[in-house]
Amino acid sequence: MQKTQLATRPLGASGLEITRVGFGAWAIGGGGWEFGWGPQADDESVAAIHRALDLGVNWIDTAAAYGFGRSEEIVGQALAGLSERPYVFTKASLLDDGSRHVRHSLKRGSILREAEASLRRLGVDAIDLYQIHWPIPAEDIEEGWSAMAELKEQGLVRHIGVSNFSASQLRRIQQIAPVETIQPPYSLIDRAAEADVLPLAQRERIGVIVYSPMGSGLLAGGITRERIAAMPEDDWRKTDPQFAEPQLSRHLALVARLRAVADRHGVTPGAVAVAWTLRNPAVSGAITGFRRPAQVEPIVAAAGLELTDRDVAEIEAAN
């Protein structure tokens, strides 16, 4: 099958050119761990990745923590044998504490060991973008960032960035080595990044890829109270406050507004939610999670969706 061509945008000053949407591999880590998404068939995951690549998506974002290695292994399986592979982005700093819960480490030795394990699981000779997953413990972010810079100098990773860092934490580590990318949560239900992280990134040409642009599925258009109640016990969303009252009613009202805009454009509410994040001039791309091939095309449509001022005003209207 011939691949579709999607428009690309520079990822800050990194030199990478990425499609406006990327494949997010959190959910394909499956269930059975602290932030799992319930049972997941690996063959469906691989098929979803291949569908995204066929539609022109040119980057995958995963992490060692997603299923504690499972997501990276599945990405590696999907990439094996491809004549042309996408960019592969992954993250370090979250480890299994022995009970399938996360523990944090930014120690140099831990970061270096994580990189080696990720390279092996992914089956690549270098990671295109390696990111610190969380700035925890905060007192160790300089040590962790120094280790990332070391990996880049060694050629084991091509670019380095961070996720979930505040603007002040970004400034702290910039003294050690340039921060090439930042990955904050950003969506219609979490706009905190607009305050200082996105303006700082735009000002200093730090590439931005945002995660959870659909609020971990809340804004995709298929979430109902009944569906939440039926979620597997090992789906982290089942007990998350965003998926419960009083927030849930507010989010479902937002989805209704997204749907009205989506109907005008002939797309899905999820595509509108993603396109809304891409309107911010600081944002290069949005991470969109998929678990099945059929989910991919309706959301990839966001890459070419131009929302009007009227659309935005309608979406952002108070409940």
Distance between CA atoms of residues 267 and 134, nearest Å: 34
**CB of 194 closer than 8 Å to CB of 280:** yes
Q: What type of residue sits at position 173?
A: I
pLDDT at 119: 98
Distance between CA atoms of residues 216 and 25, nearest Å: 12
From the candidates 66, 87, 130, 211, give the one annotated as an active-site residue. Answer: 66
Structural domain boundaries in the chain? 8-316
Which fold would CATH assign to domain 8-316?
TIM Barrel (3.20.20)
How far lies 40's CA from each of 19, 315, 319, in Å?
A: 26, 32, 35
pLDDT at 33: 87
Structure-token pair, residue 268: 């899905």
- Any long-range contacts for 173-179 (C-beta under 8 Å, 24+ apart)? 173/141, 173/142, 173/145, 176/142, 176/145, 176/146, 176/149, 177/145, 177/146, 177/148, 177/149, 177/152, 179/206
Q: What type of residue sits at position 272?
A: V
pLDDT at 89: 98
**CB of 8 closer than 8 Å to CB of 58:** yes
Phi then psi for residue 155, to 5 deg, are: 85, 5
Q: Which helix (H) or strand (E) holds 258?
A: helix 247-265
The pLDDT tens digits along the chain (319 residues) read 456 789 999 999 999 999 999 999 999 999 998 888 888 999 999 999 999 999 999 999 999 999 999 999 999 999 998 999 999 999 999 999 999 999 999 999 999 999 999 999 999 999 999 999 999 999 999 999 999 999 999 999 999 999 999 999 999 999 999 999 999 999 999 999 999 999 999 999 999 999 999 987 789 877 778 888 888 888 778 788 888 788 888 888 899 999 999 999 999 999 999 999 999 999 999 999 999 999 999 999 999 999 999 999 999 986 4
Task: Reply yes or no on whether 66 is catalytic.
Answer: yes
Distance between CA atoms of residues 218 and 290, nearest Å: 14
Structure-token pair, residue 8: 């690309």
pLDDT at 233: 82
**CB of 243 closer than 8 Å to CB of 237:** yes
pLDDT at 3: 67
